[in-house]
């Protein structure tokens, strides 16, 4: 067209040619790298447990909707991948089975999914692991046929324990095994546990609970900004467990040999399981210690011990701590116990006696720290402080560059009697970690929350991580004190021995200070006690064939061979409900819960029994008598709990499908697979490579 040509309509004019944007090879490579980083980031997030993935993905989606895709991608790469992912992967290394393990691929995959499993899937996994170990026992039995029993027991334990360790579990008796002091009978009992489905069910539940809580700590969901001391899930589960335990206790009664019944819930409320009674006893004991110290002319210091920065997941301001190395509260508690062991050893070598109380409580992020009220001679104060400070600050000393940092790690405050008693000083810490008594309206300086509410969270924290919150240092045993308080017959005490009577009288009136002095003072050695406990031994009475030690009573060291029985009656738990179906369901719960709401230990002095169980007991009794056994209640009790009844050396009996079967002790290959359906059987054999 000639220049200046006029088109009839503007849209008739030709458009300029479409040109490619000026994109360099470098820009293309950078874009591809960015896309690769996003894909890799998404892949890392997909490897997290699903309950962790969900809030992360939701947060990314929310940012994308409100601020755009660029901000969402930046959050994923800069926050999730650079800050959160390394913490979660550090935790995973502590719990997951690595690929180099000899555990079968399917079991490894399912075990590594424990945090996302519900109880049904977790129980299925417990069954499959027990089946796997039982099959391994069978193979070992074939390989070691004809060898001496003790050698077979040790060879079997070595191999089975190593498999359990591959599942990140510490096998029973393993510390003794490493020291070379494990006895054959103990090895056999440990094998019964390691091949028990119930044992694995309990272990996996606890392991999964700790794994989930540790992930919540790593994610930052345990802090003053979110949920102090422990996660909201842990608090909810702890409260729910208490509720279920209370319901169980209210539905049951205690029955003695004569058929007399008393309320189980009333006995619970009157025992040390009741937080109020436990708190009162602690206050009595610490007040008694203070009275003893005043009579001796001792002084008191209040110490605070804290772990180095690397043990803290969150800073004091509530932000993620970059120095954190993946420790959980149990790891930190072990560190503090190690420091205290070194302190006590040094004080003992230097002849510096002390007594008092230690309180373990959580920081806002769940990391424990210790408060200690220590009584000592005035002349020893400086030396004891020097020892305590030296050991408390020895690890990572280079980070203690300021007085504030040093005070955060170790702090000592002398107790001034003019300002208040030592008991009053520690009372707040005891109440804060039990039930929050008399703390209405007070605010926690660490979390800024009401101390009354913080007490519940602290109890849930201690329950989840199994941290001993209170420990007395020195003095006479509280177990003897409690047993003497069960003994109401003062005439018998006086007739036995005057020193015994003095100890009994002090315990009977709840005078802890007088009790300690009557027993020999705050530094008395266990072998020098005036009154000690006496135990009775029941051979093979536990469900795993172990000997059970139960308290029989007390004895006076001045009158050997003359124990006084304090537990006169044998009680069993029975249901108040007449309906057989309900009784059966309560029985199942009774086997899972003890009076504190935890899994019932095998050494419980209370037996569980209902009408359906009595019929089973009668059947087992008749079978035992047909085999020449006595069929007494003790033998029946061992078998009905799934234990092994020893008969001849190396031989025993157990129950399978309501029938007695012969087993070789230590080589129990006669266990029956308890699969709920054919799929479970097939899965178990696939795991075993069959």
Question: DSSP for 107-154?
Answer: HHHHHTTGGG--HHHHHHHHHHHHHHHHHHHHHHHHHTTTS-HHHHHH
CA 318 to chain centre: 26
Query: For residues 563 and 159, what is the distance between their CA atoms, to the nearest angstrom?
Result: 44
Q: What are φ and ψ of residue 443, in 5° steps?
A: -115, 140
Q: 3-class SS at 375?
A: strand
DSSP summary character for residue 562: -
575: closest CA among 590, 594, 597, 591? 590
Describe the chain by its helix, strand, coil percentages, rounded to 5: 55, 10, 35
Those residues whose C-beta lies under 8 Å from the C-beta of residue 664, and which sit 6 or more positions away, are 141, 650, 651, 652
209: closest CA among 231, 242, 239, 240? 231
Those residues whose C-beta lies under 8 Å from the C-beta of residue 269, and which sit 6 or more positions away, are none
Strands in 564-565's sheet, in edge-to-edge order, are: 531-538, 548-556, 564-565
Q: What are φ and ψ of residue 300, in 5° steps?
A: -130, 145
Write down the catalytic residue from 157, 298, 311, 429. Answer: 429
Write down the catalytic residue from 425, 481, 515, 544. Answer: 425
- In a 13 Å sphere around the CA of 32, the CA atoms on its Cβ side amount to 6
Query: For residues 399 and 308, what is the distance between their CA atoms, to the nearest angstrom?
Result: 8
Known catalytic residue at 535: no
543: closest CA among 206, 170, 192, 194? 192
Query: For residues 368 and 43, what is the distance between their CA atoms, to the nearest angstrom?
Result: 34
Known catalytic residue at 429: yes
Catalytic residue positions?
A: 425, 429
């Amino acid at each position: 067209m000639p220049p200046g040509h006029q088109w009839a309509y503007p849209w008739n004019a030709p458009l300029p040619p479409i040109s490619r944007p000026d994109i360099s090879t470098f820009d293309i490579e950078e874009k591809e790298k960015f896309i690769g980083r996003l894909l890799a980031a998404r892949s890392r997030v997909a490897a997290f447990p699903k309950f962790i993935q969900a809030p992360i993905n939701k947060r990314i989606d929310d940012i994308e909707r409100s601020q755009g895709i660029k901000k969402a991608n930046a959050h994923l790469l800069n926050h999730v991948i650079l800050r959160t992912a390394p913490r979660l992967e550090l935790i995973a290394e502590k719990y997951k089975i690595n690929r180099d393990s000899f555990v079968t691929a399917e079991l490894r995959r399912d075990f590594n999914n424990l945090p996302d499993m519900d109880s049904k899937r977790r129980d299925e996994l417990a069954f499959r692991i027990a089946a796997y170990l039982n099959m391994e026992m069978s193979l070992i039995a074939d390989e070691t046929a004809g060898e001496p029993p003790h050698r077979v027991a040790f060879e079997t334990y070595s191999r089975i324990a190593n498999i359990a360790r591959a599942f990140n579990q510490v096998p029973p008796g393993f510390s003794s095994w490493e020291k070379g002091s494990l006895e054959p009978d103990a090895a056999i009992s440990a094998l019964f546990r390691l091949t028990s489905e119930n044992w694995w069910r309990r272990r996996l539940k606890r392991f999964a609970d700790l794994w989930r809580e540790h992930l919540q700590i790593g994610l930052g969901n345990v802090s003053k900004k979110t949920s102090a001391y422990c996660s909201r899930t842990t608090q909810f589960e702890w409260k729910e467990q208490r509720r279920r335990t209370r319901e169980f206790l209210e539905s049951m009664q205690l029955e003695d040999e004569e058929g007399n019944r008393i309320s189980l819930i009333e006995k619970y409320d009157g025992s040390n399981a009741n937080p109020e009674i436990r708190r009162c006893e602690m206050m009595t004991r610490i007040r008694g210690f203070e009275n003893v110290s005043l009579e001796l002319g001792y002084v008191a210091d209040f110490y605070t011990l804290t772990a180095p920065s690397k043990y803290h997941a969150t800073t004091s301001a509530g932000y993620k701590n970059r120095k954190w190395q993946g420790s959980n509260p149990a790891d930190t508690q072990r560190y503090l116990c190690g420091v205290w062991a070194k302190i006590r050893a040094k004080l003992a070598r230097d002849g510096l006696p002390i007594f008092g109380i230690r309180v373990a409580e959580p920081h806002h992020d769940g990391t424990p720290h210790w408060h200690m009220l220590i009584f000592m001679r005035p002349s020893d104060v400086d030396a004891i402080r020097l020892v305590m400070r030296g050991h408390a600050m020895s690890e990572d000393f280079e980070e203690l560059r300021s007085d504030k940092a040093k005070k955060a790690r170790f702090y000592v405050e002398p107790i001034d009697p003019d300002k208040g008693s030592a008991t009053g000083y520690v009372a707040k810490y005891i109440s804060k970690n039990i039930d929050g008594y008399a703390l209405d309206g007070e605010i926690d300086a660490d979390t800024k929350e009401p101390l009354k509410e913080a007490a519940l969270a602290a109890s849930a924290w201690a329950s989840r991580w199994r941290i001993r919150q209170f420990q007395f240092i020195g003095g006479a045993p509280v177990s003897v004190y409690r047993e003497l308080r069960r003994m109401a017959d003062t005439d018998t005490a006086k007739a036995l021995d005057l020193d015994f009577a003095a100890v009994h009288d002090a315990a009977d009136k709840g005078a802890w200070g007088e009790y300690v002095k009557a027993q020999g003072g705050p530094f008395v050695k266990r072998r020098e006690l005036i009154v000690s406990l006496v135990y009775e031994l029941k051979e093979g009475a536990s469900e795993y064939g172990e000997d059970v030690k139960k308290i029989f009573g007390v004895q006076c060291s001045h009158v050997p061979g003359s124990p006084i029985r304090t537990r006169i009656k044998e009680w069993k738990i029975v249901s108040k409900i007449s309906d057989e179906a309900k009784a059966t369901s309560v029985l199942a719960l009774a086997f899972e819960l003890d009076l504190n709401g935890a899994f019932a230990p095998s050494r419980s002095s209370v037996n569980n029994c209902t009408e359906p169980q009595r019929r089973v007991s009668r059947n087992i009794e008749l079978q035992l008598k047909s085999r020449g056994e006595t069929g007494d209640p003790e033998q029946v009790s061992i078998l009905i709990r799934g234990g092994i009844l020893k008969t001849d050396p190396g031989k025993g009996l157990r129950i399978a499908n309501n029938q007695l079967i012969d087993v070789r002790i230590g080589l129990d290959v006669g266990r029956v697979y308890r699969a709920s359906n054919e799929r479970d059987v097939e899965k178990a054999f696939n795991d075993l490579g069959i």
